[in-house]
Structure 1
Amino acid sequence: MATKMENTGPAVMGLNTHNRQLLGQPKAPSQLGPQTVSSQSGKEPMVTQKPANASQERPGIRFGDDWKKSLQLPAKDSRVKTSDVTATKGNEFEDYCLKRELLMGIFEMGWEKPSPIQEESIPIALSGRDVLARAKNGTGKRGAYLIPLLERIDIKKDHIQAVVIVPTRELALQVSQISIQISKHLGGVKVMATTGGTNLRDDIMRLDEEVHVVIATPGRILDLIKKGIAKVDKVQMMVMDEADKLLSQDFVVIIEDIIGLLSKNRQILLYSATFPISVQKFMAKHLQKPYEINLMEELTLKGITQYYAYVTERQKVHCLNTLFSRLQINQSIIFCNSTQRVELLAKKITQLGYSCFYIHAKMMQEYRNRVFHDFRNGLCRNLVCTDLFTRGIDIQAVNVVINFDFPRNAETYLHRIGRSGRFGHLGLAINLISAEDRFNLKTTEDQLMTDIKPIPGSIDKSLYVAEFHSVNPDCEAEAPQPGEGSEAQ
């Protein structure tokens, strides 16, 4: 079934014709696994942690008690993990002298032991020293900076004490939700997420109240600072997540302006999977004797198996349909190189009978939030997107990434395939290669020192499938039966 992608008219955003599911309809989310938290849908509000009375929630806890017995732990994740996260020194979170209330939040997130990047980073960040950390996608960088950040927050002080800057709105929402989950027992840590595309008046009202941590995109936080709304003169810690992107030409001028408005005694933490020359220049200019961490002896994740399929442009949709029928997909992310192709492909996938959402930067923010929220909660199996979704998005149910359009550079390829195989789990990356992509494929292999193999007739499920179920049962129940073009279950 060789199908050419044609412009058949605009797809209806959020409407799944096969499941008759409209994104705006409320639907109970399914379980996503141990490290998943629900983000708010609709607009992108500030999320604050209301003061909690620990004694009311845990009335039986007294000094000397085994407080771990009272924790509400998620189901244990028994999936196989690679050495990217298991090759640790054997440390425990308790070894870092963290507040008991913070430890409670960490364990209730399902984080049992620190990963290598967390082992290296947490004690240094707690000491107040600048950090330049390089680690692979999906190995725990969020926890590596959020744990020391929240540990150092003094809830008795009613001013902004930490700022986390991220390149995308979706990542800002995700980081704020993780912050709230970890800090829920700390008794009053207030976290605010603010990004472009939302009402500035709402942010003014929120910042008029007590805020300890601000998680923001660069343009919005600079705007709030310059207007005198966000007071950052007492900020003690600034984190740059996905630092390579933040120091690219798109953001570097804004970042420089923000740094200039902070106290000279601030601590700066930089985290990324890749560190180009721009990061080195920034480090020399703004960081004071930074502690450098490099856990990137190999660039690509060990748990991700990579294949390519050589096809013509007209054969791509047919090839994708074949993959859907033969692979055991829990959730998949499918990348295109333009917003127009994202919408066209999403419509084609829906016409083939598969549940499919799409997301790109030109969509209204409230729709982006809803798609991101619902996909994370397992309401749909497949997501088509642009490179908007390559930065830091952590959805552990994703076990397959498909590059419908091969990326233009090796760095983008690395971030795309890193959406699968999160936190040391197994993943599969499949690249649809046309004649024009052959040079980029060879360049990517050389630069990343990796081997992308031709796709075999049958792919061993043990390479990318583990016992982990997250997709909403309604999605599976309404899918076509095997033999009718459905995904193999």
Structure 2
Amino acid sequence: MATARTQIPTTVMGVSKQNGQARSADLQSGSQPSTVLNVSQKGSSIPHTSGGIRFGDDWKKSLQLPQKDMRVKTSDVTATKGNEFEDYCLKRELLMGIFEMGWEKPSPIQEESIPIALSGRDILARAKNGTGKSGAYLIPLLERIDLKKDHIQAIVMVPTRELALQVSQICITMSRHMGGVKVMATTGGTNLKDDIMRLDETVHVVIATPGRLLDLMKKGLAKADKVHMMVMDEADKLLSQDFVILIEEIIGFLDRNRQILLYSATFPITVQKFMSKHLKKPYEINLMDELTLKGITQYYAYVTERQKVHCLNTLFSRLQINQSIIFCNSTQRVELLAKKITQLGYSCFYIHAKMMQEYRNRVFHDFRNGLCRNLVCTDLFTRGIDIQAVNVVINFDFPRNAETYLHRIGRSGRFGHLGLAINLITSDDRFNLKAIEDQLVTEIKPIPGSIDKSLYVAEFHAINQEEEEEKEAALDSPLENRWMVPGILHIIC
């Protein structure tokens, strides 16, 4: 997938307690994303009528393709059978949207999933984070939408509000040439009146979190009796105790002949009970020959709790970061760390579940658009969030289990690209570190004195010349001026 590089401002004036964003002139003009996406497919540069592109025309010449992504990709996405998107007999208008997304060829999960989903069969699919699962279900979903019918035809269930907004934006962009596919995103924490007004009009695809969708169904607002496809993205989370009762109720509103697609990197034991009850002879896909992404290099730095901020500052000065996500284990520590990072002079946002939804939307939107280099967050941000510019993930607080660790580090190295995962380990974490290594069958190495940029930087000119000069000046200054901790100098200096 091609991602246009953005210029990320580094001037920060402070951190707002209310919305998790650093205050600067660059941010005050940022746009505010809406929570519910009311979509009208207009403004496409290519006509939707049959007379727009005539038989025999080279329709690909009319596409507005993004800049070609020349970054190295690993076998996680390149080990394919050699199929093309055109091999699946998709509508030309859908193919146009796929190519304009920058998707050139299907990834392994898309190769395995798309033809089976198009046949109407239930699917249980396991694939690594960041290997194209969203495309694996959205492409057949959009192909099967009948624009002559004015009711809800497909539902995508996701566990978090941010993921709902992300998936809906991909769906909208991909269907832009299809002549009127209506996509609606609905999540908790938003105005119910907006949803009521939206559902009074035609909606073909609903992308939602379980609680809000079930509420709309019970009120008779979201009529799902004619839904032919339901997708569960991050299905392991949706089948956890937090959501599984809601999911069971939602399925009760659907047509008995519906198709159910489950996608995740991991699945709990409870999936077997769910499968036997709700899926009909599901086609099982398992592309998890190993759990961690091949493009992610994992390191740990052994520090005391009091040294963590100093170590983080040293990492910032030594690494070439496009964008980074920094994880903490509590909302209070997220806010405290974001404030400290800002005081050190780095641009920083923060996000967690206790923030108002409109502020969460704003932070997610602005970080994704490159208005800030670093984001501090809780595990709210571990599920499915795809930001191509993120090349470094730092576990400021080491996660408590292997599943959380796997989803956290999967925020870098997206779609076969390269990335770093750096873990700050205290004496309390050392046994947990070994347990996670054993469970994931992976190796987390001690951080070396210098990290080869080729492990995580695709283009060596990603950071502008002015920043490089500032970094070189900092490295020429005395040690005591660099906020370095003597106890870890031998590790990362």
TM-score after normalising by structure 2: 0.90
Distance 1:176 1:285, change over 3 A: same
The partner residue of 2:473 within 448, 462, 483 is 483
- Deviation sequence 1:284-305 (CA, Å, 0-9, x none): 1110000000000100000000
1:109 corresponds to which residue?
Answer: 101
The partner residue of 1:50 within 41, 57, 68 is 41
**Other structure's SS at 1:95 match:** helix
Measured after TM superposition, the shift of residue 470 of structure 1 is 7.8
Write the mapping of 1:343-382 to structure 2, written as runs, cut at 5 A. 343-382=335-374
> Does 1:326 pair with 2:329?
no
Identity %: 82
Write the mapping of 1:193-342 to structure 2, written as runs, cut at 5 A. 193-342=185-334
Measured after TM superposition, the shift of residue 16 of structure 1 is 2.3
Measured after TM superposition, the shift of residue 175 of structure 1 is 0.3
Determine if contact 2:48/2:178 at 8 Å carries over to the other structure.
no
- Deviation sequence 1:276-331 (CA, Å, 0-9, x none): 10222211111000000000010000000000000000000000000000001000
In structure 2, stretches of 5+ residues that fail to align are 1-14, 475-481, 484-493
Measured after TM superposition, the shift of residue 48 of structure 1 is 1.0
Give the whole-Å Cα distance in 2 for the aligned partners of 1:286 and 1:12.
43
2:486 corresponds to which residue?
Answer: none
The partner residue of 2:143 within 145, 148, 151 is 151
Distance 1:60 1:234, change over 3 A: closer
Give the whole-Å Cα distance in 2 for the aligned partners of 1:210 and 1:430.
47
Distance 1:356 1:216, change over 3 A: same
Measured after TM superposition, the shift of residue 480 of structure 1 is 5.6
Determine if contact 2:21/2:350 at 8 Å carries over to the other structure.
no
The partner residue of 1:190 within 170, 173, 182 is 182
Write the mapping of 1:391-406 to structure 2, written as runs, cut at 5 A. 391-406=383-398
1:26 corresponds to which residue?
Answer: 29
Distance 1:245 1:477, change over 3 A: same
Give the whole-Å Cα distance in 2 for the aligned partners of 1:10 and 1:74.
34
The partner residue of 1:419 within 411, 423, 428 is 411
Measured after TM superposition, the shift of residue 477 of structure 1 is 6.7
- Deviation sequence 1:353-403 (CA, Å, 0-9, x none): 000000000001010000000000001000000000000000000000000
- Deviation sequence 1:405-459 (CA, Å, 0-9, x none): 0000000000000000000000100000001111110110000000000000100
2:428 corresponds to which residue?
Answer: 436
* Amino acid aligned to 2:473: G
> Does 1:410 pair with 2:413?
no
Write the mapping of 1:160-199 to structure 2, written as runs, cut at 5 A. 160-199=152-191
Give the whole-Å Cα distance in 1 for the aligned partners of 2:32 and 2:351.
14
Determine if contact 1:325/1:482 at 8 Å carries over to the other structure.
no
Determine if contact 1:397/1:468 at 8 Å carries over to the other structure.
no
* Amino acid aligned to 1:26: S
Measured after TM superposition, the shift of residue 57 of structure 1 is 9.2
Give the whole-Å Cα distance in 1 for the aligned partners of 2:50 and 2:129.
36
1:16 corresponds to which residue?
Answer: 22
> Does 1:135 pair with 2:141?
no
* Amino acid aligned to 1:437: D
* Amino acid aligned to 1:16: A
Determine if contact 1:11/1:347 at 8 Å carries over to the other structure.
no
Determine if contact 2:121/2:259 at 8 Å carries over to the other structure.
yes
1:30 corresponds to which residue?
Answer: none
Measured after TM superposition, the shift of residue 61 of structure 1 is 2.5
Give the whole-Å Cα distance in 2 for the aligned partners of 1:298 and 1:148.
27
Distance 1:15 1:269, change over 3 A: closer
* Amino acid aligned to 1:423: F
- Deviation sequence 1:37-81 (CA, Å, 0-9, x none): xxx734402231325675379976211111101100000000000
The partner residue of 1:75 within 67, 72, 76 is 67
Determine if contact 2:152/2:206 at 8 Å carries over to the other structure.
yes
Determine if contact 1:85/1:139 at 8 Å carries over to the other structure.
yes
Q: Which has the higher contact order (CA 8 A, sep 6+)?
A: 1
CA RMSD of aligned residues (A): 2.3
2:81 corresponds to which residue?
Answer: 89
Which deviates more, 56-65 or 78-87? 56-65
- Deviation sequence 1:12-47 (CA, Å, 0-9, x none): 644425xx3474x224xxxxxxxxxxxx73440223
* Amino acid aligned to 1:406: F
- Deviation sequence 1:67-120 (CA, Å, 0-9, x none): 101100000000000000000000000000000000000000000000000000
> Does 1:456 pair with 2:448?
yes
Determine if contact 1:52/1:185 at 8 Å carries over to the other structure.
no
**Other structure's SS at 1:293 match:** strand
Distance 1:21 1:389, change over 3 A: farther
In structure 1, stretches of 5+ residues that fail to align are 1-8, 28-39
Which deviates more, 130-139 or 273-282? 273-282
Give the whole-Å Cα distance in 2 for the aligned partners of 1:227 and 1:443.
46
Give the whole-Å Cα distance in 2 for the aligned partners of 1:448 and 1:309.
19
State the aligned residue count.
Answer: 462
* Amino acid aligned to 1:49: S
Determine if contact 2:296/2:413 at 8 Å carries over to the other structure.
yes
TM-score after normalising by structure 1: 0.91
Which deviates more, 113-122 or 55-64? 55-64
